[in-house]
A and B are shown apart, each in its own frame.
Chain A
């Protein structure tokens, strides 16, 4: 199953799910993160494969 990492959290999502839905499964607003696969930016409409490991980067900062 594809795995999602965000800060100190991680969760698994069903294969073939879209990146956008995978983000929502972690209780996050997709507007506030970017998804990367192997250090490369991926778009939210991509469907995840079984062994994909996605890292999310927060985009909201203070100040």
Chain B
């Protein structure tokens, strides 16, 4: 594996050790969590999130998975296939991961949901004694709310033919809710450096100061809602795909059918062009942004200007809107009918 941005080439064995070591560095550098914390990893069936779960377990962290079924078909059963991929991965976990750090943590009770409409967790076929027994929690949006994501989007007519804004809103809300109800203090997502650089690029093109101020590897916890962390934020997308290949992690190659033509993909292609001409360009772009931020280039003044947050009347999640949060407003028109 050649990593031109690091002027480094590694063989397969060293590469699968190098990746977790990088992740561990990020976890410590940005103070994401400790081996005592319960971490919920949002898994989609794609390469990044499954690799992240694998890596956290190998590093000895107490990480469980959460899969959200969105009810997206796209002609090839996208959601069904990605769920199958996550479940197969969860079952294979015990045999596949050897902790680098002994975590001997079985005295911690598995979190139990409080009336969450969530399926029985999938657990590995066999368990290694004294190791964290990783569980995969699954919530099907169509089962829980009676509508798939594309159906909700069509009904509320948000997002000009694409369900992505409704999808993002529902995913964020449900991850928050489940993490909170099941007692996970940390929510980890598989965003890699390319994802973060593409978002940063989009936000700088239009100088979205508010978004820029909030973008980072860690979003602190608030009012009992989980801290959000991105442990893969310093790893290239290429490295994550390579990690899965070398580790034999099977993931879904197909994309969500609605991601076709997304601006984030266009931005990634532009950044890849820069990267080809000058290795390390993507990494520089993102990491120097983080450093600039740390040095106060974006001060917190805008936060005082930001509208104040209060609890949603229906679900209790923090929101800037008076009364109901955006998620709850999606459903009120249904209930009235």
Q: Which residues of A contact B (CB under 8 A)?
A: 29-32, 34, 36, 40-41, 43-45, 57-63
Contact of A62 among B47, B264, B275 (CB under 8 A): B264
Q: How far is the CA of A57 from the CA of B1 in the complex (A)?
A: 14
Contact of B12 among A29, A41, A60, A61 (CB under 8 A): A41
| Chain A residues, CB < 8 A from B262 | 62-63
| Chain B residues, CB < 8 A from A45 | 2
Q: Measured between C-beta atoms, what is the minimum distance from A32 to chain B in Å?
A: 5
| Chain B residues, CB < 8 A from A61 | 46-48, 237, 255, 259, 265
The verdict on B185 contacting chain A, using a C-beta distance below 8 Å, is no
The verdict on B290 contacting chain A, using a C-beta distance below 8 Å, is no
Name the CB-closest residue of B to A20.
B2
Q: Measured between C-beta atoms, what is the minimum distance from A39 to chain B in Å?
A: 8
Q: Given A59-B237, A61-B237, A63-B264, A31–B275 Cβ distance below 8 Å?
A: yes
Contact of B245 among A57, A58, A63 (CB under 8 A): A57
| Chain B residues, CB < 8 A from A31 | 238, 272, 275-276
Q: Measured between C-beta atoms, what is the minimum distance from A44 to chain B in Å?
A: 6
Contact of A60 among B1, B242, B245, B269 (CB under 8 A): B269
Contact B194 A43 (CB under 8 A): no
Contact A60 B237 (CB under 8 A): yes
Q: Measured between C-beta atoms, what is the minimum distance from B106 to chain A in Å?
A: 35
The verdict on B273 contacting chain A, using a C-beta distance below 8 Å, is yes
Contact B256 A63 (CB under 8 A): yes
A-B contact pairs, 17 of them (CB 8 A): A30-B276, A31-B276, A34-B241, A34-B242, A40-B245, A41-B242, A41-B245, A45-B2, A59-B237, A59-B238, A60-B268, A60-B269, A61-B46, A61-B47, A61-B259, A62-B259, A63-B195
Q: Measured between C-beta atoms, what is the minimum distance from B7 to chain A in Å?
A: 14
The verdict on B9 contacting chain A, using a C-beta distance below 8 Å, is yes
| Chain A residues, CB < 8 A from B1 | 41, 43
Contact B245 A36 (CB under 8 A): yes
The verdict on B246 contacting chain A, using a C-beta distance below 8 Å, is yes
Contact B256 A57 (CB under 8 A): no
- The residues in B between 228 and 251 inclusive whose CB is less than 8 angstroms from any CB of A are 237-238, 240-242, 245-246
Name the CB-closest residue of B to A33.
B238
Contact B269 A32 (CB under 8 A): yes
Q: How far is the CA of A32 from the CA of B268 in the complex (A)?
A: 9
| Chain B residues, CB < 8 A from A58 | 253
Name the CB-closest residue of A to B9.
A43
Q: Measured between C-beta atoms, what is the minimum distance from B237 to chain A in Å?
A: 5
Q: Given A31-B272, A43-B9, A62–B242 Cβ distance below 8 Å?
A: no
Q: Measured between C-beta atoms, what is the minimum distance from B222 to chain A in Å?
A: 24
Which 7 A-B pairs rank lowest in CB-CB distance, beginning with the nearest?
A62-B259, A59-B241, A31-B272, A62-B262, A59-B238, A31-B275, A59-B237
Contact B259 A29 (CB under 8 A): no
Q: How far is the CA of A63 from the CA of B262 in the complex (A)?
A: 8
Q: How far is the CA of A30 from the CA of B194 in the complex (A)?
A: 15
| Chain B residues, CB < 8 A from A57 | 241, 245, 253
Q: How far is the CA of A5 from the CA of B275 in the complex (A)?
A: 23
Name the CB-closest residue of A to B271.
A31
Contact B194 A41 (CB under 8 A): no
Q: Given A31-B275, A44-B2, A45-B2, A60–B194 Cβ distance below 8 Å?
A: yes
| Chain A residues, CB < 8 A from B46 | 61
Q: Measured between C-beta atoms, what is the minimum distance from B18 to chain A in Å?
A: 14
Interface string of B244-288 (1 = CB under 8 A from A): 011000000101100110101100110011011000000000000
Contact B273 A62 (CB under 8 A): no
Q: How far is the CA of A10 from the CA of B8 in the complex (A)?
A: 30
Contact B246 A60 (CB under 8 A): no
Contact A60 B2 (CB under 8 A): no
